[in-house]
């Protein structure tokens, strides 16, 4: 009985402590961006066939964003295109590994390879890449400590666009929810090409609504 309790406590701490840290980070960022009247648009999982369309949309509103790229998809020409337009590139791992479903050393390797892919295609030292968003927003105690040891900044989000949810939200309803939650913060979109046309259109429509709102309310849009 005592052994079972100890095991449950260890497992709870292994997953629970990092979860609490990420929740605290989310609260901190939400408060900070709200007070500063700022917004940061972020796009995960790219590059994809939609990257060019996303860049064109951002150009139209003169807004800079942050692209958390997946190392296995990285291409030099795409990275150059993103950066030449003033956007930031950060890591989202190499194979989009869920840290809750693999051994710590597998997660560490994926983090290393993700940063290495950016470095190889960008000809810049690895030390300059300090932003990481864990796939699925999941980290364990060991991966959290590893990232802290490597002085990598973990970036969460304060508002999820819902573009990867099983049921696509209504664009207007989701936009209203965004406004009600302050209309600022770190917004999560995905740079994925979906075979579902409706889902692709949802990303562009909601993103444009957010960009229009930012412009109308004179919210400061920034890359991370």
CB 157 within 8 A of CB 188: yes
pLDDT band at 124 (very low <50, low <70, confident <90, very high): low
**Domain residue ranges in the chain:** 2-221
CB 224 within 8 A of CB 40: yes
Fold of domain 2-221: TIM Barrel (3.20.20)
What's the mean pLDDT in 156-177?
A: 95
pLDDT band at 182 (very low <50, low <70, confident <90, very high): confident
What's the mean pLDDT in 20-36?
A: 90
Percent of the chain surpassing pLDDT 90: 75
Tokens found for residue 115: 């940063």
3-class secondary structure for 167-196?
A: CCCCHHHHHHHHHHCCCCEEEEEECCCCCC
What's the mean pLDDT in 193-218?
A: 94
Q: Residue 78 CB: number of other CB atoms within 10 A?
A: 20
């Amino acid at each position: 009985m005592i052994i079972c309790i100890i095991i449950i406590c260890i497992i709870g701490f292994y997953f629970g402590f990092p979860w609490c840290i990420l929740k605290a980070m989310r609260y901190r960022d939400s408060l900070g961006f709200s007070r500063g009247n700022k917004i940061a648009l972020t796009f995960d999982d790219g590059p994809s066939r939609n990257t060019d369309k996303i860049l064109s949309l951002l150009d139209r509103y003169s807004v800079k964003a942050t692209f958390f790229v997946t190392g296995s998809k990285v291409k030099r020409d795409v990275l150059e295109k993103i950066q030449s337009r003033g956007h930031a590139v950060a890591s989202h791992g190499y194979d989009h590994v869920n840290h809750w479903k693999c051994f710590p050393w597998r997660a560490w390797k994926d983090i290393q390879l993700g940063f290495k892919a950016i470095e190889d295609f960008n000809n810049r030292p690895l030390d300059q890449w300090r932003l990481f968003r864990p796939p699925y927003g999941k980290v364990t105690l060991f991966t959290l400590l590893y990232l802290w040891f490597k002085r990598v900044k973990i970036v969460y989000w304060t508002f999820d666009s819902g573009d990867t949810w099983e049921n696509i939200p209504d664009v207007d309803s989701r936009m209203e929810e965004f406004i009600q939650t302050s209309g600022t913060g770190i917004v999560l979109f995905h740079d994925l090409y979906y075979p579902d046309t409706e889902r692709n259109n949802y990303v562009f429509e909601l993103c444009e609504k957010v960009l229009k709102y930012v412009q109308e309310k004179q919210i400061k849009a920034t890359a991370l």
